[in-house]
Amino acid sequence: MGRPLAVSDSGEGPGRKCRGERGCGLLARLPNVFHYLPRRIGCNVPTRTPWQPRVRRGSRLGSAIVVSLFPTASRPFCQQITPAPAPQPGVIAVRRSETTLFTSREATHDNDTVALTNRAGLVRQFGSGLYGFTPTGERVRRRLIDAVDAELRAIGGQRISLPQLNYSGIWERSGRWGSFEGEMFTFENRDGKRLCLAPSHEEGVVHLVDGAVRSYEDLPALYYQVGRKHRDDHARNGLLRLKEFTMKDAYSLHADADSLDETYERVRAAYVRLFEALDLAFVVAAAENSVMGGSASEEFVAPVETGTLDLRHCTAEDCRFGVTDESPGWASVGGICPDCGGDLVAGEGIEIGHAFKLGTRYADAMDLTVDGPDGDGWRVHMGSYGIGIERLLHTILAQQSDDAGCRWPDGIAPFGASIVPLAYEGAIRETADRLYRELGAGETLLFDDPGQTIGERFAESDLLGVPRKVVLGAAVVSGPRSGD
């Protein structure tokens, strides 16, 4: 990393060197994204007089790690910033004056979460059910994809990419051509061949492995992709129900039902870890398999004020029981949880994930077999697992945001931190620019637009959901130096 800190015990001359673990100095005491800064910033601060940042936790300003740089006799400041190596590859820092944030004060909608996505400039609508992501929104979308991708890789998933365009023949083999009740986009090409935009890829995975996976010893296998899906659905509530959307769809293949059950539980546990890491409240509800086929399925449903499903869920802290209007036996569910005896409450929810046990439904229809230990043919069992990325984004905002703007789980915000100079001029500007250049991890937004007031900078940072702010005032560059 960078050079070690030069620390003076007496306030006179050079002192011993800090290895970075002590965290002596202004930005050295900032948590998380700034913990590496002691190794990149030289601080001529007496270690016998600890610097105490004013961080008010609990308020939006404090919870975002806003550091107040106002002098007191017992609180010395970072005196100088020494040269540091260039940022690591892949590090991105953004100047407010050089990027379009698409934020708006006037965006409104009947749904508060939809209004927030518009005010924060995350998306722009292109028509009913069609949205484009702005640079800010795309940062969030990519981080969510990365989080999902990490969980699937952790359980042995192999990432693939299948074509969105499918000829009708593969769907006719499975018997699902025309089964989506008008939701599937279909058309003919110039040669008169019928095609569709695939709403899911069970057929595609069977085609992918057919002839390549030959033996029961090649199984189990878990394949997944993250890509666009298209369904001619009735658009509703912004990102909740789209005609074009991003989905993580995974497919598992097995030699028998027991193996399917084992992988199903592994994927289910990965979903639970993912949603818990995203600080989401959710329940797991039994669901119908519908056009997917198979023997069983479950929905992961997040309770929200305005959702797409009617939901009854348990209020007990450690219970995830829930039923929706799409669950078997919905009408017979009373007010007591059958799992723990707790109370069930009624509300609305959003489906953020779905898992299916498909059994041999597709292997039977498309003649997918593997050789068993005796050389006889075994039908392949399958599972299917989906997460909608846009729905996930909407749900996070619906459950976690406040009146000031977006609130994001760790690692999902469009920027890891913002540098907010009280006045972007003179020595403050020099310090802000140097911090901007020398931050060595994460992504940082520098508010360098002189046309913005300090209040506008704070408000825009809050609206975007930037979790940490570094506020630079005159004291950081003009305070008393050690030894003066």
pLDDT tens digits for range 207-242: 999 999 999 999 999 999 999 999 998 888 899 999
Could you tell me the pLDDT band of residue 326, with boundaries at 50, 70 and 90? confident
Domain 121-400 maps to which CATH number in 3.40.50.150, 3.40.50.620, 3.30.930.10, 3.40.50.1820?
3.30.930.10
pLDDT at 184: 93
Give the mean pLDDT of 347-376: 95
Q: Where are the beta strands (DSSP E) in 289-446?
A: 296-304, 309-314, 321-324, 344-359, 369-371, 377-379, 381-388, 417-421, 443-446
Is residue 475's pLDDT more than 80? no
The two tokens of residue 171 are 């769907």
Give the mean pLDDT of 461-482: 74
- For Cα atoms 64, 33, 67, give the angle at the middle one, nearest 5 degrees: 40
pLDDT at 75: 34
Domain 5-97+410-478 annotated CATH 3.90.70.10: no
pLDDT at 178: 84
Residue among 58, 60, 2, 50 at smallest CA distance from 26? 50
Question: In the chain, what are the domain boundaries?
Answer: 5-97+410-478, 121-400
Name the strand (E) or helix (H) holding 400.
Answer: helix 389-400
pLDDT at 294: 66
Is residue 35's pLDDT more than 50? no
Is residue 105's pLDDT more than 70? yes
Backbone conformation region of residue 68, classed left if phi is above 0, alpha if psi is from -120 to 50, else beta:
beta
Could you tell me the pLDDT band of residue 301, with boundaries at 50, 70 and 90? very high
pLDDT at 363: 96
Kindly report which listed range (133-147, 230-244, 384-398, 446-460) carries the lowest average pLDDT score.
446-460
What's the pTM? 0.79
Backbone conformation region of residue 467, classed left if phi is above 0, alpha if psi is from -120 to 50, else beta:
alpha
The rounded mean pLDDT for the chain is 80
The two tokens of residue 56 are 């008010």
Could you tell me the pLDDT band of residue 293, with boundaries at 50, 70 and 90? low
pLDDT at 443: 78
Is residue 460's pLDDT more than 50? yes
Give the mean pLDDT of 181-191: 91
pLDDT at 440: 53
pLDDT at 364: 96
Comparing 290 with 364, which gets the higher pLDDT? 364
Give the mean pLDDT of 302-321: 88
pLDDT at 92: 62
